Chain A
Amino acid sequence: MSLDRLRASRAFALLPLLLLAGMVALGLFIEAARYRTLLWETKIPLALLLLLAFLRKRAPGEG
């Protein structure tokens, strides 16, 4: 895949947010497995914002 096609890909554009979502999941795993707790409430704002970005449709003409 050429760099131009990669840049045009929405999935690639959102890759940092996917990584961040992975980090949230890993945080939850560490909390549960190592510390026997879940700080889930504090992850709700970030989870909702990430979800918003993933669900938002690309506007017409948007690169």
Chain B
Amino acid sequence: MHLFIELLTLIFFLGFVAHAVAMRGRAGAGFFAAMLLLGFLRENLVILRDILYGFSPLHLLLGRAPLIASIIWGYSIYAAVVWAEAVSGERFGSRRPSGRFLGLAALFMIALACFYEPFLKLIDMARWQEGTRSTLDVPWITWIGYPTMAVLFLPLWGWAMGMDSRAKRLAALLIPLPFLAFGHALALQALKSALGW
């Protein structure tokens, strides 16, 4: 079952990448490359520092973390962008998204957390820390973790893509990205501990 879910998610991820490239050209490919790097850094930190959650032994890995954990961020945030575009009529691109757009993307990420987390627990794929507080098997901390990742990444992307040269765009994106990846996981763990969640 785990391998089936891993392969299915990978196929869907590649489908999303193809869609992004068809709709947005090189920016679409760049968006997923950045999200993959972000997911890779964040999820490997989660594994190496043993924070937030762990995983059953899975088949496909990227570094020390499961591949599915690294790619799910790009997959989810792109879905949130597509949904927010469809609902708001605002096109996401080379400028900072509006507050309304970010709010809609955040809402969609929360709905995704409600979908993913109970399923991952049922099939014993992801294991949150002992004592993690949850409702209907959705850990409370995911209602902060999922939307904040989108709300932090999307303005960074829009700001970086607004730069006037490729070198500036790359620097504006790649320098803050590790801070975002590591900071998000560490801050979430700190908040979870502080709130007793």
List chain A positions with a Cβ less than 8 A from chain B: 3, 6-7, 12-17, 19-20, 23-24, 26-27, 30-31, 34-35, 37, 39, 41-46, 48-50, 52-53, 56, 58-59, 62-63
Contact = CB atoms under 8 A, between A and B. Distances in A.
A24 B122 contact: no
B22 A20 contact: no
Given A12-B22, A12-B23, A49-B83, 5 more contacts: A7-B22, A17-B82, A42-B138, A50-B83, A59-B89
Interface stretch (B49-57, B103-111, B159-167): B103-111
Interface stretch (B35-43, B112-120, B182-190): B112-120
Given A16-B79, A19-B12, A27 B111 contact: no
B22 A43 contact: no
Interface residues of B, number: 32
B82 A3 contact: no
Contacts of A59: 89
B112 A46 contact: yes
A32 B94 CA distance: 43
A14 to B, nearest CB: 6
Nearest to A61: B89
A35 B122 CA distance: 8
Given A16-B78, A39-B137, A31 B86 contact: no
A31 to B, nearest CB: 7
Contacts of A58: 89
A59 B82 CA distance: 16
B116 to A, nearest CB: 9
A43 to B, nearest CB: 6
B82 A46 contact: no
A42 B122 contact: no
